[in-house]
Structure 1
Amino acid sequence: MDLGPGRRGVPPRFVLRGVSEKNRDGKRTARERLAVEREKQKSADKRRRALVVGAAVVCVLGLAAVIGVVAANAGKDEGDESAGPVVAPSGANGEDNLVIPVGKDDARSTLTIWEDFRCPACKSFETTYRPVIHELTKGGQLRAEYRLATIIDGNLGGTGSRNAANAAACAQDVGKFTEYHDVLYDNQPPETDDAFADNARLIELAGKVDGLDTPAFRKCVEDGTHNSWVAKSAEAFTKGGFSGTPTVLLNGTNIFQDQKMTPEKLKQQVQEAAQG
């Protein structure tokens, strides 16, 4: 007798039951895969929100691993035994002359900005907050203090952070820091691309700032005139115990402690302080 599907001694109902169970298992596996994908998507969304909300993103460095690297690498090329004398840019002030000031000295609010020209989070901050910072500094309500770090050089290798910082200091020597600072961020390469290590590229970008591309500026960039000053600034960042860049302090308080911080809120706080 032909028992059909049960001809090997397995009754048809058990074969059907086995097929049904396989179908259920397949559906359950599909649901589990879907649940995993949903969790991955939630995690990805959470990471994206953490990167963009209020531009409170930072280029995080593993301090334990990087402190020595930053101190060793910042301010000198591979093979250099000495970084040379510390030459602060014109107009720099603060402790050890490590601050590049923008705005009026008598402004009631001070915004301290620790940044790294290779850091994409710094560019995100710039894109979001730059218009308000320019408005407030030009209006005399805010004094911005720019302080330069080189953590990406320490994390990923290369000298782009340092070389760009040196070039920005060279621009400060002739009163073009703000304009050149903005050009560097507008033309920032991908984080892993050490394009700013090429002094020719930094000089090329100086051509976007009226009156900056001069023989004196070129020599300053090519000689690394302010490399040791940049190294000293990077050391101050490390000793300050900051977790990453950008670190932005309004009158000494990290603005990103307020998770609802926005450019408009920053502007309001500065204007209220200006009014007394």
Structure 2
Amino acid sequence: MSKAERERSARQRLAEERLKQAARQKQQRMLMIVLGVVAVVAVAVVVIVTVSNSGDDKKAPKYAGPLAPTSRQADGSIVMAKAGVAKPVLEVFEDFQCPACKALEDTTGKTIKEQAAAGAVKVVYRPFRLFQQEPLKSNSQRAANAAECAPADKWVPFHDQLYANQPEEGSDGFANKDLIKWAGEVGITGDAFTQCVNGGQKNASVDQATAYAQKAGVTGTPTLMLDGKKVGDDALTPDGLKKAISAAGK
């Protein structure tokens, strides 16, 4: 082998070694990145579990502030608004079995009530049955039927009572006897209500409300619409909702 050939061979071996070294360094960097991501995810999971567990034993405080007058519309929905307030209109599409709806009620339900009581907005509650699988479907149907049976002047406290006693997702719940008991705790009594709940007398109205939600383009709950337009996630917070209502009012 000539001197030139030996030099080319040496340069080739050096280049190959550098490539191998670069590959090893790249693998080490990737491993560190993966380990870092795993560590971050692990910390996030711990935080989420801790926060979730810390809230398991705490229910949102019951609303004790002023309420705008409530009335029931022909389609079964509930209007909450001061006299003469027609705009803007905030429609609340919800399912009493929906955990995200309960979360919205816990964080922003108070704001919705306060804004209606202040005359800033006309609120229309439109509960319906979102779930199609059991036992969620039946839970949702029974709760929505009971809400339809409730008199308008007691509807909001009963609405809040349903969320306060929401069954765990995937479990049987909202039994008629419990719905009647919770209604009694907010002042809804009498044979008419009991028979309405036990007989499922408002199931057809619940089905109509479900069809209306689907026609309105509601694909999940909770869905808030302000003057017919779906609000963004930023308006699902107390401050965000206040801003959206104020802007719509102008």
Instruction: State the TM-score, normalizing by the size of structure 1.
Output: 0.63
SS of 2:85's equivalent in the other structure is coil
1:266 aligns with 2:241: yes
SS of 1:151's equivalent in the other structure is coil
C-alpha distance in 2, partners of 1:44/1:92? Answer: 45
Report how far residue 38 of structure 1 moved: 3.6
Report how far residue 188 of structure 1 moved: 0.9
SS of 1:207's equivalent in the other structure is helix
- 1:213-232 to structure 2, matched below 5 A, reads 213-232=189-208
Report how far residue 271 of structure 1 moved: 4.2
Backbone CA RMSD of aligned residues:
3.2
Map of 1:34 onto structure 2: 35
C-alpha distance in 1, partners of 2:186/2:158? Answer: 6
- 1:90-109 to structure 2, matched below 5 A, reads 91-93=72-74, 97-104=75-82, 106-109=85-88
Report how far residue 110 of structure 1 moved: 1.0
Map of 1:246 onto structure 2: 222
Q: Is the contact made by 2:72 and 2:152 (CA closer than 8 Å) also made in structure 1?
A: no
Q: How many residues align?
A: 201
Map of 2:176 onto structure 1: 199
Which aligned segments of 4 or more residues in structure 1 are displaced greater than 3 angstroms?
27-33, 38-45, 155-158, 271-274
Matched residue type, 2:183: A
C-alpha distance in 2, partners of 1:99/1:161? Answer: 16
Matched residue type, 1:92: Q
Q: Is the contact made by 1:107 and 1:141 (CA closer than 8 Å) also made in structure 2?
A: no
1:132 aligns with 2:108: no
Gaps of 5+ in 1: 1-26, 49-89
- 1:260–1:119 CA distance, 2 compared to 1 (3 A): closer
Matched residue type, 2:94: E
SS of 2:72's equivalent in the other structure is coil
What are the superposed Cα offsets for residues 110-154 of structure 1, whole Å, 9 maximum, x if unpaired? 1101100000000011011111111111222211111122122x1
- 1:44–1:234 CA distance, 2 compared to 1 (3 A): farther
C-alpha distance in 2, partners of 1:191/1:273? Answer: 35
1:181 aligns with 2:181: no
Instruction: State the TM-score, normalizing by the size of structure 2.
Output: 0.69
Q: Is the contact made by 1:103 and 1:140 (CA closer than 8 Å) also made in structure 2?
A: yes
C-alpha distance in 2, partners of 1:273/1:228? Answer: 34
Q: Is the contact made by 1:148 and 1:233 (CA closer than 8 Å) also made in structure 2?
A: yes
Q: Is the contact made by 1:117 and 1:164 (CA closer than 8 Å) also made in structure 2?
A: yes
C-alpha distance in 2, partners of 1:174/1:265? Answer: 28
Q: Alignment identity in percent?
A: 34
- 1:35–1:265 CA distance, 2 compared to 1 (3 A): closer
